[in-house]
Structure 1
Amino acid sequence: MEQTTASPFSGYQKFVIFILAITQFTVILDFMVMSPLGDILMKSLKIQPGQFGIAVSAYAFSAGISGLLTAGFADKYDRKKLLLFFYLGFTIGTLLCGLATTYEFLVAARVFTGIFGGVIGSISMAIVADIFPIQQRGRVIGFLQMGFGASQVLGIPIGLYLADLWNWHMPFLWIVAMAVIIIALILTKMQPVTQHLAVKKDKTPLTHLFHTLINKEYRIGFAATALLSIGGFMMMPFGSAFAINNLHITNKELPIVFMVAGISTLVFMPLIGKLSDKVDKLRLFAFGCFWTMTVILFYTQLGPTPLWLVIAFNILMMMGIMGRMVPSTAIVTGVPEMQDRGAFMSINTSLQQIAGGIAAFVAGQIVVQKTQFSPLEHYDTLGYIVSAITILSIFLMYRLTLMIKRRPVQAPVAQVKTDTEISPENA
Structure 2
Amino acid sequence: METPKQPVPAFTSYQKFLIAILALLQFTVILDFMVLSPLGDILMKTLAMSPKEFGLVVSSYAFSAGASGILAAGFADRFDRKKLLLFFYIGFIGGTLFCALANSYSMLLVARIITGLFGGVIGSISMAIITDVFALNQRGRVMGVVQMGFAASQVLGIPIGLYLANQWGWHAPFLMIVLLALLIGLAVWLRMQPVNTHLALQSETNAFAHLRDTVSNKTYQTGFLAIAFLSIGGFMLMPFGSAYLINNVKIAQEQLPFVFLCTGISSIIIMPVVGRLSDRISKFVLFTAGSVLAIIMVVIYTNMPPVPLWTVIAINVVMFMGIMSRIIPATALNTSIPDLKDRGAYMSITSSLQQIAGGLGAVVAGLIVAQPGKTSPLEHYDVLGYVVSAVIAMCIWFVYRISVLADRRAKTQPGATPEAVGAVSNQAIVD
Report TM bin, short chain.
over 0.9
Equivalent positions of 1:111-150 (< 5 A) are 111-150=113-152
Q: CA deviation at 1:200?
A: 3.5
Q: CA deviation at 1:417?
A: 4.5
Matches of 1:18 and 1:403 in 2, distance apart?
Answer: 30
Gaps of 5+ in 1: 421-427
Query: Measured at CA, do residues 267 and 106 of structure 1 come closer, stay the same or move farther in structure 2, by a change above 3 Å?
Result: same
User: 1:275 is matched with which residue?
Assistant: 277
The 3-state SS of whatever aligns with 2:378 is coil
Matches of 1:315 and 1:200 in 2, distance apart?
Answer: 45
User: Aligned match of 2:246 in 231, 237, 244?
Assistant: 244
Does the 8 Å CA contact 2:134/2:426 hold for their aligned counterparts? no
AA in 1 matched with 2:267: T
The 3-state SS of whatever aligns with 1:303 is coil
User: 1:199 is matched with which residue?
Assistant: 201
Segment of structure 1 superposing worse, 199-208 or 65-74: 199-208
AA in 2 matched with 1:156: I
Q: Does 1:414 align with 2:416?
A: no
Q: Does 1:388 align with 2:390?
A: yes
Structure 1, residues 252-279: CA drift from partner, whole Å, max 9, x if none? 1011000000000000111110111001
User: 2:22 is matched with which residue?
Assistant: 20
Matches of 1:203 and 1:398 in 2, distance apart?
Answer: 35
AA in 2 matched with 1:162: L
User: 2:304 is matched with which residue?
Assistant: 302
User: Aligned match of 1:218 in 220, 230, 236?
Assistant: 220
Q: TM-score, normalised by structure 2?
A: 0.96
User: 1:285 is matched with which residue?
Assistant: 287
Q: Does 1:373 align with 2:389?
A: no
Q: CA deviation at 1:416?
A: 4.8
User: 1:425 is matched with which residue?
Assistant: none
Matches of 1:157 and 1:33 in 2, distance apart?
Answer: 9
Q: CA deviation at 1:300?
A: 0.7
User: 1:86 is matched with which residue?
Assistant: 88
Query: Measured at CA, do residues 8 and 37 of structure 1 come closer, stay the same or move farther in structure 2, by a change above 3 Å?
Result: same
Structure 1, residues 286-314: CA drift from partner, whole Å, max 9, x if none? 00000000000111111111100000000
Matches of 1:228 and 1:321 in 2, distance apart?
Answer: 10
Matches of 1:21 and 1:414 in 2, distance apart?
Answer: 20
Alpha-carbon RMSD across the aligned residues, in angstroms, is: 0.9
The 3-state SS of whatever aligns with 1:277 is helix
Structure 1, residues 352-376: CA drift from partner, whole Å, max 9, x if none? 0000101001100110000000100
Q: Does 1:343 align with 2:354?
A: no
Q: CA deviation at 1:415?
A: 3.1
Matches of 2:201 and 2:61 in 1, distance apart?
Answer: 34
Q: TM-score, normalised by structure 1?
A: 0.97
User: 1:423 is matched with which residue?
Assistant: none
Does the 8 Å CA contact 2:68/2:121 hold for their aligned counterparts? yes
Q: CA deviation at 1:6?
A: 2.5
User: 2:34 is matched with which residue?
Assistant: 32
Does the 8 Å CA contact 1:241/1:376 hold for their aligned counterparts? yes
Matches of 1:128 and 1:292 in 2, distance apart?
Answer: 27
Q: CA deviation at 1:406?
A: 1.2
User: 1:258 is matched with which residue?
Assistant: 260
Does the 8 Å CA contact 2:333/2:403 hold for their aligned counterparts? yes
Q: CA deviation at 1:202?
A: 2.5
Gaps of 5+ in 2: none
Query: Measured at CA, do residues 301 and 14 of structure 1 come closer, stay the same or move farther in structure 2, by a change above 3 Å?
Result: same
Segment of structure 1 superposing worse, 23-32 or 399-408: 399-408
Identity of aligned residues (%): 56
Matches of 2:334 and 2:204 in 1, distance apart?
Answer: 25
Q: CA deviation at 1:419?
A: 5.7
AA in 1 matched with 2:150: F
Query: Measured at CA, do residues 279 and 373 of structure 1 come closer, stay the same or move farther in structure 2, by a change above 3 Å?
Result: same
Structure 1, residues 171-196: CA drift from partner, whole Å, max 9, x if none? 00000000111111011000000111
Query: Measured at CA, do residues 416 and 87 of structure 1 come closer, stay the same or move farther in structure 2, by a change above 3 Å?
Result: farther
